[in-house]
Amino acid sequence: MPKNLLQDMVKAKRERARMETSARMQEFQSNQVLQTDDKKKKTRYALWLIALISVGFLFFAFSYLFSKATVTINPKMKEVVLNENLSANKEGSASTLPFDLVVISGEEIKNVQTTEMKDITQKAEGTVVIYNTFSSASQLLSIDTRLEGSNGKIYKTKTKITVPGMTKDNKPGSIEVKIYGSVAGPEYNSAPLDFKIFGFKGTPKYAKFYARSKGDITGGFQGKFPVISDSQKFSVVNELKNTLQAKLSRRATDQIPSGFILFKDAVFLDTDENNVDLTSTEDNVLSLKLKGTLYGLLFNEEKLTKKIAENNIEKYDENAVYLPNIRDLKFSLTNKDSASLADVKNISFNLSGNTKIVWKFDTDKLLADLLGKSKKDFNQILLQYPDIDSADLVVSPIWKNSIPSKTKNIKIIVNYPK
């Protein structure tokens, strides 16, 4: 019996030792697992931190690599109320304002239904050029000088003229004159003719003076002819005049070279309203034809702008300026009636209206001056540009302290008024 008790006690000790060892092993394994988890967590945190730092570095690197700058400029300007009296010369010079002349001719026709017929006798009319190959002396021809046409009919000059003599190199002297048929009727209408001066027949001058018509001789008529009242004719002629001026003005505008101005009030239509061609057609329809020549005064925009600036800017520095609405200014020619526009050499005119004188500046030079400069130097750079009123600089990313060093990354916006 004692022997079994001792054996049981030994077994109990062994069992307790085994259990304690097993518990210690479990605790050790548990601690190992915990330590492994901690290491894994720390490793993950470290990897995330490295990733975030790398992303941040790349973000900053790319933001600097793709940095941009926008410069918004407000140019210097001055508002003025113009009432300028100016003069210009067709030849132009360094000290005078030049002008040029655009000349366009045309005609306009309108058919008018009439109800009244009258017996009409009308003489044919045309224009001839008379030549002098007789001597260097000029020759006076009185009004109604008779010209014998190559068709055998007699025509007469409408005015007194003086035919110039031959030049030193033996070129004939010449002059234009209007003629009319000596008798009314359609038989004096003709295609271009040659003429001799009837009064010189039998003298040496007969062979040395001659004339040739410019274009057809027309208008000769005798018989019943449709007529319109003076008031109706006046109305139709005014309509033709307005239509012709509008048409010729459009043609003139299409011909204006770049850099020149044709003010809308600087075009003038020259017509002979008392010499309207009247042609009868079928069914008592009267065709009215008005011929005219439009004269337009052209100005070089840059030179005209400079002249206005000199007169309105104190101590003008010759820098480039422009007037946004220069074509809208009111133009008034002050000496229109003093000379024919076809021969005019000097003009005086007035320009009036509200406008702005706006300074231009060299954007390429400003761009070159800004490349790679610090943002804090921006205002100092602007001091070199008196033609700039104000400016604003925006650099992205916002933390970048310098302006990009490449022109493609800088955008300059100029708020020029239109």
Tell me the per-residue pLDDT of 283-303, one tens digit each, with 9 for 90 and over: 778 888 889 999 999 999 999
pLDDT in the model for residue 59: 47
pLDDT in the model for residue 37: 57
| CA-based nearest residue to 245, from 344, 340, 349, 108 | 108
Chain segment 211-249, per-residue pLDDT in tens: 999 999 998 888 877 777 888 888 988 999 999 999 999
What class does CATH assign to 120-223? Answer: mainly beta
Tokens of 13: 């000790």
Whole-prediction pTM:
0.62
pLDDT in the model for residue 202: 94
| CA-based nearest residue to 416, from 329, 323, 354, 301 | 323
pLDDT in the model for residue 35: 58
Alpha-carbon span 245 to 62, nearest angstrom:
65
| CA-based nearest residue to 262, from 80, 100, 52 | 100
Q: In this structure, are residues 362 and 320 in contact, taking their beta carbons and an 8 Å threshold?
A: no
Domain spans, the chain: 20-64, 68-78+360-414, 81-111+226-349, 120-223
Q: In this structure, are residues 65 and 330 in contact, taking their beta carbons and an 8 Å threshold?
A: no
pLDDT in the model for residue 64: 53
pLDDT in the model for residue 341: 81
**Residue ranges in the chain whose pLDDT is less than 50:** 1, 58-59, 61-62
CA dist 312 → 306, 309, 315 (Å)? 10, 5, 9
pLDDT in the model for residue 96: 84
pLDDT in the model for residue 11: 62
